[in-house]
Amino acid sequence: MIVYTLLVVSLIVFAITQILPADAAVMMLGENATPEALDALRQTMGLDQPIWQQYATWLWHVVQGDLGTSLRTGQPVGPAMFEALGRSLILAFFSIGLMLILAIPLGIIAAIRRGKIADMVVSLISYAGVALPEFVTATIAVLLFADWMKWLPPTGYVPLTEDFFGGIAHLVLPVCVISIILIAHVSRMVRSELVDVLHTDYIRAARLKGLSRGHVLRHHALRNALLPTITIVALDVGYLLGGVIVVEEIFAIPGIGRQLIVAIQARDLPAIQAGVLIMAATYSIVNFIADILYAWLDKRIQYD
């Protein structure tokens, strides 16, 4: 399953980078290189072979863990990308954490107070959350909290291992900006799942049995309503990774999103291929784990 996904992704990525109007040999030697030198380099890089053969060679190297050499820096792409991925994962980890802490309680409150003021406030928050793209909220946040109030540093990245509190201070704005849209989406999903569950017969049966509202909510309803959240959060990781690209660009965080933007702008084909592949792999692995977790928590589900 996951292998097929990555195979398709690798094909798409390779196809796109092949159609890109960029000649790797010209990029490495410059515009003034002699035709002989270009031909020689193409031969050593294997660019004169048929496309499917180039794909097979590239794929074989990727499987062995060699993602190629950057045309821009001349360094191996793999280590640089994985180092950048680590920084992005810190960002993503805190964003998902903040989202779960806020979105699940908000969704639960909205569902149990359905139609009341609390429900309306939560849905207002969720509509506001999906109203603006990340680069706009990020810009406004920097203007408000960094420029005017001077509470937080505007941009930049400090490794947590070097200066923990400085690192956290630099992460606050990016994490909040990424979480907004996720909070809006997940709280809405939690609300609608819980509303559905609260209308089922077994909940009514539990209430008629004389169990208290709180007990039914905690032991019967939440368990069933929160399970689908795992899948939703896993699917939202795709959105999260897209948001990471924009947010890293604005806050100057040297993560994988920034690397990808630089690679795309410079038409650095091996770096683009590696970056997209790593992102797609991250998404697939997260969803794979979510499926397993779901089946483990809900014994009724059996995967082949």
Chain residues binding another protein by CB under 8 A are 1, 4-9, 12, 16, 19-20, 127-128, 130-136, 139-140, 143, 147, 238-239, 241-243, 245-246, 249, 260-261, 264, 267, 272, 276, 279-281, 283-284, 287
Q: Which is nearer to another protein, 199 or 300 (CB)?
A: 199
**Radius of gyration of the chain from its Cα atoms, rounded to whole angstroms:** 24
Closest CA to 39 of 55, 21, 25: 25
Q: Which is nearer to another protein, 104 or 184 (CB)?
A: 184
What are the residues facing 76 on neighbouring strands? Answer: 69
DSSP 22: -
Contact in structure between 232 and 183 (CB atoms under 8 Å): no
Residue 178 beta carbon to another protein: minimum distance, rounded to whole angstroms: 13
What are the residues facing 69 on neighbouring strands? Answer: 76
Q: Which is nearer to another protein, 37 or 130 (CB)?
A: 130
**DSSP 3-state of 64:** coil
Residue 35 beta carbon to another protein: minimum distance, rounded to whole angstroms: 26
Phi and psi (nearest 5°) for 76? Answer: -60, 140
Residue 264 beta carbon to another protein: minimum distance, rounded to whole angstroms: 5
Residue 133 beta carbon to another protein: minimum distance, rounded to whole angstroms: 4
Residue 212 beta carbon to another protein: minimum distance, rounded to whole angstroms: 29
Q: Which is nearer to another protein, 6 or 175 (CB)?
A: 6
Residue 136 beta carbon to another protein: minimum distance, rounded to whole angstroms: 5
Q: Whole-angstrom Cα distance, residue 42 to residue 23? A: 9
Residue 102 beta carbon to another protein: minimum distance, rounded to whole angstroms: 20
Q: Fill in the amino acid letter for 153.
A: P
Measure Cα distances from 14 to 9, 50, 52, 62, 217 in Å. Answer: 8, 13, 10, 12, 50
Length of the chain equals: 304
Q: Which is nearer to another protein, 144 or 168 (CB)?
A: 144
Q: Which is nearer to another protein, 9 or 293 (CB)?
A: 9
Q: Which is nearer to another protein, 82 or 239 (CB)?
A: 239
Torsion sign, CA atoms 14, 289, 170, 176: positive
DSSP 219: I
